[in-house]
Amino acid sequence: MLKKPQMEVEIAGIKLKNPVMTASGTFGYGQEFSPFIDLDRLGAMVLKGITLKPKMGNPPPRIIETPSGMLNAIGLQNIGVEVLIKEKLPYLQKFNTPVIINISGDAIEEYVELASRLGEVSKEMGIAGLEVNISCPNVKKGGMVWGTDAQSTYKIINSIRKATSLPLIVKLTPNVTDIKTIAQAAEEAGADALSLINTLVGMAVDIDSCKPKLANISGGLSGPAVKPVALWLVWQVFLFLAPEVGEQLKTSHPGRESFM
C-alpha cells in the first residue's frame, strides 16, 4: 500500500499544508475564486498587490496576448489597504490557509507604513506574512526601481524589517544584469525568503497602426515563455545563497521542474 505523500513545507517560518501558492495579481483577493476552487486546498494565498491608498492603474488597453504568454500593464490597480482590511480579509478567515499580503508603494515611507499597519491587524485578520513587491515593471514610480540596485534593495527591505515582525518574502525582478547581488542584499537586509520571479519587461506593436499595443507602451511578460528564464534565475540564486527560493508557476505538471 502506497504511503500518503508528505506535502507540508515551511517558507519564511510560515507552515503550509502543501507548496502550491497563488501568484499575486492572478488570484484577486481570494474571494473571487472561491466559487471555482476550494481555498482550503491551497498551501497559501498570495493576494493581489496592495498599496497605502487606492490606485486606478494604467489606462486600457493593458492586457494583450502574445505567442506563449501575455503582456500586462495593469499598473497595480487596487482598493487600498483600509478597504482590504475591512472588506476582504474577514471573508478569508473562514479558511485554514495562510494569507500573504503583497505590498507595494511609491516611496520607502509607504512600504513602511503599509507593513506597520498590516502588522497591527495581523493576528486579528490572520495575516501570515508579507510579500514585498520591489519588481513591478509597469508603474512609473516605485515598483521595479527598488529591485534593480543592491543598495536600494537593502535600504527598502531593511526599513520594512524594522517596521514589522511579520515574515518578509521579497519578490525580485528578472530585469537585472546580476540577480545574485540583489538577492544577497535582500537577505542581508532581513528578508526571510525570496520570490522569483516577477515579469519580464516587453512590448508589442500593432503592425497596422505602427503603434504600441499597450497604452503604457511596455508591460510585463508572463506565461510559459517565461518559465526557462525563471528556472535559470532560481538556479543562480540557489547556488549563490541556497535560501528558500520559489518560482511562481500556476500550472501543476510543468511546475514539478521548479522543485527539483
Q: How far is residue 186 CA from its own chain's centroid?
A: 15
| Residue 210 is a catalytic residue | no
Secondary structure class of 184 (helix, strand, coil): helix
Render the burial of 24-57: b for 16+ CB within 10 Å, e for the rest: bbebebbbeeeeeeebeebbbbbbbbbbbeebeb
Contact 134, 174 (CB under 8 A): no
156/108 Cα distance (integer angstroms) = 6
Burial of 6 (0-12, 13-18, 19+ CB in 10 A): exposed
Residue length, the chain? Answer: 260
d(CA 111, CA 104): 6
For residue 238, which amino acid is it?
A: F
73, 85, 136, 186: which is the annotated catalytic residue?
A: 136
Where would I find the beta strands (DSSP E) of the chain?
9-11, 14-16, 45-46, 63-66, 69-72, 99-103, 127-133, 168-171, 193-195, 200-203, 205-206, 211-212, 218-222
Q: How far apart are CA 188 and CA 194, in angstroms?
A: 12
Active site residues: 136
